[in-house]
A and B are shown apart, each in its own frame.
Chain A
Amino acid sequence: MKIIIVGAGEVGFHIAQRLSEENQNVVLIDKDPQKIKRITEKLDVQALLGGGTSPQVLREAGIREADMLVAAADSDEVNLISCLMAKNLNPYMLKVARIRSPEYLEEKELFGQDLLGIDRVINPESEMVDAILRVMEVPGASEVIDFVGGRVKLIGFTIPEDSSFCGHKLASFRGLEETVLVGAIARGDEVLIPRGDDIIQADDLVYVVVKNDELDRILRLFNPREQSLRRVIIVGAGQTGTALATALDQTKVKARIIDKDTERCTLLAEKLERVIVINGDGTDKDLLREENVEDVDLVVAITGDEESNVLISLLSKGLGAKRTITRISKLSYIPLVSAIGIDTVVSPRLSAVRAILQHIRRGKIITVAPLKGEHAEAIEAEALETSDIVNVPLADVKFPKGAIIGAIVRGEEVIIPRGDSIIRPRDRLIIFALQPVIPKLEKLLTVKLEYF
């Protein structure tokens, strides 16, 4: 598959890196010679110097035989124009564009096939808001990903020391086989796809597949003390903060939003009914204490300044807040902040990378979610009739090592699979896989192996 990426910023670089590691043909276009130089030194991709909006450069990048264009430049206008050019040069290719300005996002019909032909518009901010809201819904979770329209959830949470599962083998979870499945365990820096004899340890970040209607019961089993969300403090009333506060305004959650900017606070306060707007400095310890941070279930630090966000989260944790969500832009910081005790990290760039990667996966793959550190992915895919995995018991399927089926969804029914379960054509599958086996898995899912 040949993919052209416009813009070698953090998002573009990151996607290029991922795809080149999976042996895809990637051409990266950027105007900055310095960035191009760095990429030729670092990545096994073709780096072209030039503007992503120039038809000449796009032609040079081989747009005629490309399968996909990812417009991930910093400027919305560049992204829009390069999609427009691409549509004219190669009408058959898929086009994904990163668009951030609300002015464009409000005009959905602009992006359709007739004018710009963008197949998917990715707005990092709104992807991030969705991610935060999903985490809020599930107490104790540090990450929540919806599959099959929310009927199956993938939940990542840290195992506390007093959990009844701590120190037990996975195979010993009698009576739970049909309701829950541990798909991946992140321990320290590594991610493992577990087998029956792997043991859960305290402080593991486990990813489990759960049916939506059994969510509460399972959560209580894993993490007995956790209660549902009641009090939230949001620090930072930018685009994300505003969207979040507006969403929480409709719920029973007691939310407060803090921002330094008086004018912004006034505007926001006029819009909101129940959420309390506070004009002050979120890094101020006294202010946080006045707002009873010690009783708060969740502090969301999403100011524009990532250093402040980290400080706010650490401070609130020190003052007694139960959990924190921290916004960080620089992708390279993410592993570091997890190490100093920050629970959940959200990043607009990471959200953009995820959303774009979902579209790149070929075959009938519907949703993809990179797991911690991106060493592994959760994939939602449809089982094709031609695939080797259908109509045989799972125990007999030659599944690549490092991949596991987390759930099978057949019509209304959700099956947590066992060795004797059988996949039927058009079933939806949720699969966990380590990154290196993903190309193999893609082949297995699309066509029978002998066709290759």
Chain B
Amino acid sequence: MNFATIAYVLGALLIVIGSSMVLPLGWSLYYNGGDQLSILISAIITIALGLPLWWFFRKNTDLGIKDGFFIAVFGWILVSAVSTLPFLIHGSIPSFTDAFFEMMSGYTTTGATILTDIETVPHGLLFWRSQTHLLGGMGFLTLTIIFLPFGMGGIRLFRAESSPGQVITKEKFRPRNKDTMIWLWYIYLLLNLAETLLLWLGGMSLFDSLCHSFGTVSTSGYSPKNTSIGYYNSAYFDWVIILFMFLGGMTFMLFYQISRGDWKSLKINTEFRWYAGFVLFFCSIVSWILWKESAYGTFMDSLRYGTFQVMSILTTTGFTTADYELWPQAAQMFLFAVCFIGACAGSTTSGIKVVHYVLICKFMYASVKKIFLQPMAVIPLKLNRRPVDSSIVDLAICYFIVNIFLVLGGGCFMVMVDDMDYLTGMSSVIATLMNIGPGFGAVGPTENYAQISGVGKWFLSWNMLVGRLEMFSALVIFYPSFWKK
């Protein structure tokens, strides 16, 4: 491993993170909530840590495959650690474990919080908390790479930070890595801007519009309000956020193609069709259950609450407008199932992702047909109207199984170290591993993660990282050969 280059990238990363603290600093000065100094000190410390690393190792740009994984895993841990500084210095989250959990949850776009009363935290810190979503949603490594002189090394970092599903869908829609990443960020920021405008025009304050946009497009779920989006009780806000959760769950490459007038790509993209199908199916069935069991008065309300909650969990966002634990059991069961979907590969979402289901379903269909019906049939697996390599199907199956193992194993671990019922244990792991946020039981929509023990919090923080780096990038460091020369 090339530690000089790693130090250089980590240094640059710290500088980017430190400089980004300027935005929350601005808000804290505007609201004057007593957190200005803590943010300023944190920014200075972070940049002071990063500058020497960056400066002394700036001649090193040789980045190997292992270095990419190393930076992805330890870069995320390091950044989450330094990002706790504003909270620790200010004292609104006094414990490092809690602050680390909160920040890891922010960067990994999970949205699981340990704060019981969010609204007492000053505005600057709240903005910083939401801003971690903005940085983490598209991946701050890609942001850093844009500013670093990496050619091929850049794509290694990009891959270590993004999903294996992206290998399946074509990740590179521009010839040069840098252009690709700039475009991704451009689309991402544009979506954020559009949502902020829509919310703001609907009467939300600019501060809240920004925070909620950061939480929506990155499909994360931090809200500056205790009762999340439910605080506003406004159909307009709900539908705007539903729309942008859906957009955030789309493969970003599609936006690029649409921006060039290529609307056909929506039709060709198999994953998008399945994604839309999943959304339609689950939203209508949950809304229908709610309406039939008359949980809400009108049909429109059932549709609104049902759709919002399904979208929020399907895209791994985690906003809430209702306490779904009071819903009929059937609706809850469907919501639980939706946890395992996740949206499209190459979007800001985490979770298992639709593309893996597409591949696995097609593979199952073809296998059964071949074994039982037509043994001599040649059935190619197709994605986006093109045949898929069998190694990619293997990867999808492997990915799915690893997810199931981690959920079951993690659930067992949580119940052992913490005094909780098995539903809470398992759903806390699902909610963090899939980067959703709220779960069921004691970590449900009206509760938070504050009561979980220290060991449990560290374990869940690790789960969030594993989920955000899409399993393999994070798990590869446990191979002994990873550490050998």
- Do these two chains really belong together in a complex? yes
Is B273 in contact with chain A by the CB < 8 A criterion?
Answer: no
Which residues in window 12-48 of A have CB below 8 A to B? 20-21, 23, 25-27, 33, 40, 42-47
> Using Cβ atoms and an 8 Å threshold, which residues of chain A touch B177?
44
Give the number of chain A interface residues (Cβ < 8 Å): 15
Decide yes or no whether B174 CB sits under 8 A from chain A.
yes
In the complex the two chains form, is B172's CB within 8 Å of A25's CB? no
Which 3 interchain pairs have the tightest Cβ spacing?
A25-B175, A46-B175, A44-B151
B420 CB-CB contact with A under 8 Å: no
B41 within 8 Å of A (CB atoms):
no
CA distance A45 to B173 in the complex (A): 10
User: Is residue B155 within 8 Å, beta carbon to beta carbon, of the partner chain?
Assistant: yes
- For window 160-185 of B, CB contacts with A under 8 Å fall at 172-177, 179
A21 with B174: CB separation less than 8 A: no
Other contacts beyond A25-B175, A44-B154: 6, CB < 8 A = A20-B176, A25-B176, A26-B175, A44-B176, A46-B173, A46-B174
Kindly list chain A residues whose C-beta atoms are within 8 Å of the C-beta of B175: 2, 25-27, 45-46
Give the CA-CA distance A366 to B154 in the complex, in Å.
34
Bound-state Cα–Cα, A2 to B175, Å: 8
Partner of B152, one of A23, A44, A46: A44
Q: Is B394 an interface residue (CB 8 A)?
A: no
A440 to chain B, nearest CB (A): 15
Closest beta carbon of chain A to B411's beta carbon, Å: 37
**Chain B, 119-176, CB within 8 A of any chain A CB:** 151-152, 154-155, 172-176
User: Quick check: is B325 within 8 A (CB to CB) of the other chain?
Assistant: no
Report Cα–Cα, A248/B151, bound state, in Å.
Answer: 47
A27 contact set on B, CB distance < 8 A: 175
Asked if A43 contacts B152 (CB within 8 A), the reply is yes
CB distance from B266 to the nearest CB of A (A): 16
Which residues of B are found within 8 Å of A46, using beta-carbon distances? 172-175
Contact pick for A33, options B172, B179, B389, CB 8 Å: B389
Q: Using Cβ atoms and an 8 Å threshold, which residues of chain A touch B154?
A: 44
Residues of A within 8 A of B172 (CB): 40, 46-47
Among residues of A, the one whose C-beta sits closest to the C-beta of B150 is A44
Write the nearest CB–CB distance from A436 to chain B, whole angstroms: 12
| Chain A residues closer than 8 Å to B152, beta-carbon distance | 42-44
Nearest-CB distance from B454 to chain A (Å)? 42
Q: Which residues of B contact A (CB under 8 A)?
A: 151-152, 154-155, 172-177, 179, 389
Minimum CB distance partner of A2 in chain B? B175
How far apart sit A43 and B155, CA to CA, in the bound complex (Å)? 9
* Residues of A participating in the B interface, judged by any CB pair closer than 8 Å: 2, 20-21, 23, 25-27, 33, 40, 42-47
With A25-B179, A33-B389: A44-B174 Cβ-Cβ less than 8 Å: no
Chain B residues within an 8 Å CB radius of A43: 152
Residue among B152, B172, B175, B179 with the highest chain A CB neighbour number at 10 A: B175
Q: Across the interface, name the chain B residue whose C-beta is closest to A46.
A: B175
A87 to B155, CA, bound (A): 33
Contact of B176 among A23, A33, A40 (CB under 8 A): A23
Residues of B within 8 A of A23 (CB): 176
User: Which partner residue on chain A sits nearest B173 by CB separation?
Assistant: A46
CA gap between A45 and B180 in the complex, in Å: 11
Q: How far is the CA of A42 from the CA of B176 in the complex (A)?
A: 13
B257 CB to nearest chain A CB (Å)? 10
- How many whole Å from B182's CB to the nearest CB in chain A? 13
CA–CA, A42 and B177, complex, Å? 12
Report 13 cross-chain contacts, Cβ distance below 8 Å, ordered by A residue: A20-B151, A20-B176, A26-B175, A33-B389, A40-B172, A44-B152, A44-B177, A45-B175, A45-B176, A46-B172, A46-B174, A46-B175, A47-B172
**CA–CA, A224 and B152, complex, Å:** 48
Identify the closest chain B residue to A42 (Cβ): B152
B92 to chain A, nearest CB (A): 44
> A27 vs B152: C-alpha distance in the bound complex, in angstroms?
15
Q: Report A452 CB to chain B, min CB distance, Å.
A: 18
Q: Does A25 contact B174, Cβ atoms closer than 8 Å?
A: yes
Q: Give the residues in chain B near A47, CB-CB below 8 Å.
A: 172
Distance in Å: Cβ of B268 to nearest Cβ of chain A: 11
**In the bound complex, CA of A36 to CA of B302 (Å):** 50
Smallest Cβ-Cβ distance to A43: which chain B residue: B152
Asked if residues A21 and B176 are in contact (CB atoms below 8 Å), the reply is no
A2 to B174, CA, bound (A): 10
CB distance from A220 to the nearest CB of B (A): 45
Q: Which residues of A contact B155 (CB under 8 A)?
A: 40, 44
Residue among A43, A46, A47 facing the most chain B CB atoms (10 A cut-off): A46
CA–CA, A25 to B152, complex, Å? Answer: 14
- Could you tell me the distance between the alpha carbons of A42 and B156 in the complex, rounded to whole angstroms? 10
Instruction: Give Cα distance in the complex from A47 to B177, angstroms.
Output: 12
CA–CA, A200 and B179, complex, Å: 44
CA distance A166 to B358 in the complex (A): 71
The CA-CA distance from A44 to B174 in the complex, in Å, is 10
Smallest Cβ-Cβ distance to A26: which chain B residue:
B175
- Closest chain B residue, CB of each to CB of A21: B151
**Measured between C-beta atoms, what is the minimum distance from B153 to chain A in Å?**
9
Give A42 to B152 CA distance when docked, in angstroms. Answer: 7
- The distance from the CB of A46 to the nearest CB of chain B, in whole angstroms, is 4
Residues of B within 8 A of A21 (CB): 151
Cα A33 to Cα B151 with chains together (Å): 22
State A27–B175 Cα separation when bound (angstroms): 6
* Interchain CA distance A40-B172 in the complex, whole Å: 9
A232 to B176, CA, bound (A): 49
Instruction: Name which residue of chain A comes closest to B171, CB basis.
Output: A40
Find chain B residues with CB under 8 A from A2 CB.
175
Complex Cα distance, B173 from A25, in Å, reads: 12
Give the residue name and chain of the B residue nearest to A20 (CB).
Answer: B151
Inter-chain CA distance A27–B173, complex, in Å, is 10
In the docked arrangement, what's the CA distance between A155 and B34, Å?
Answer: 74
| Cα–Cα distance between A23 and B152 once the two chains are bound (Å) | 12
- Complex CA–CA separation, A47 to B174 (angstroms): 10
Which residues of A are found within 8 Å of B179, using beta-carbon distances?
25
* Alpha-carbon distance between A25 and B183 when the two chains are bound, in angstroms: 15
CB distance from B29 to the nearest CB of A (A): 38
Give CA–CA (A46, B179) in the complex, Å: 11
Q: Which residues of B contact A40 (CB under 8 A)?
A: 155, 172
